[in-house]
Amino acid sequence: MRVALPEAHHQNPLGHLSEHYAPEIVNAAFGFSDVTYRTSKLPTRLFEGARMRTALINGCQLCQNFRVLRDRPDLEHNNGPAPDEAFYAAVNEWRTSPVLSEREKLAIEYAEKVGLDPKALATDEDFWTRYKAALTDDEIVDLAFCVAVWMGLGRVAHVLGLDAVCALPALREVA
């Protein structure tokens, strides 16, 4: 941990942060995260593919182990069946995986480009032509803000060391 966290709070470091360190900011961040999970209209596989690619880029172990329908059924993000573990494994090889649809691959590619080279993404006309042919503007905006949440909060969790101590059940207590 990069900030003081009493051992008694190791099972719920997010809750401790929200009460003791910049509570208005931390709770606003949790609110932003919560609303993306509750209101995203993206198909679950597309959503989870982009989320997992973001988690891999961020290096957040907690995020990599998280499964939206398994770990947070209360979030009501149920826009299709839960991906299986073969799906999550395929995210590592998204370019060549036969497990992923073209739309899922584009969402994963988008998340990767945002995470690794957003400046190039802004001017990559080839990508934007393919992306806009496959996703609606509503889906593009939805995914853009979901990736923003995952990128920002996943990086915060990882650099502060929260992913080293936080267990998934603790997430339920924060909500």
pLDDT digits (tens, 9 = 90+) for 15-48: 888 999 999 999 999 999 999 999 999 999 999 9
Distance CA 42, CA 134 (A): 13
14's CB contacts (< 8 A; 6+ apart) are 26, 30, 162, 166, 170, 171, 174
170, pLDDT greater than 50 = no
Higher pLDDT, 75 or 108: 108
Residue 71 in this model has a pLDDT that exceeds 90: no
Average pLDDT over residues 94-110: 98
Q: Exposed, middle or buried, 12 (CB in 10 Å: 0-12/13-18/19+)?
A: buried
Residue type, 44: T
Alpha helices in 40-136, H assignment, sequence order: 44-58, 61-65, 68-71, 85-90, 102-116, 118-122, 125-134
Listed in sequence order, the residues at least 6 apart from 121 whose beta carbon sits closer than 8 Å to its beta carbon are 110, 113, 114, 127
Residue 173 above 60 pLDDT?
Answer: no
- With cut-offs at 50, 70 and 90, classify the pLDDT of residue 113: very high
CATH of domain 7-174: 1.20.1290.10
Contacts with 92 (C-beta within 8 Å, 6 or more apart), sequence order: 56
pLDDT of amino acid 74 = 81
The pLDDT of residue 168 is above 80: no
Q: What is the mean pLDDT of residues 69-88?
A: 86
pLDDT at residue 76, rounded to an integer: 65
| Structure-model confidence comparison of residues 12 and 166, the more confident one | 12
- With 70 as the cut, is the pLDDT of residue 141 above it? yes
With tokens 């198909």, the residue in question is 43
Q: What is the pTM of this model?
A: 0.90
φ, ψ for residue 99, nearest 5 deg: -75, -25
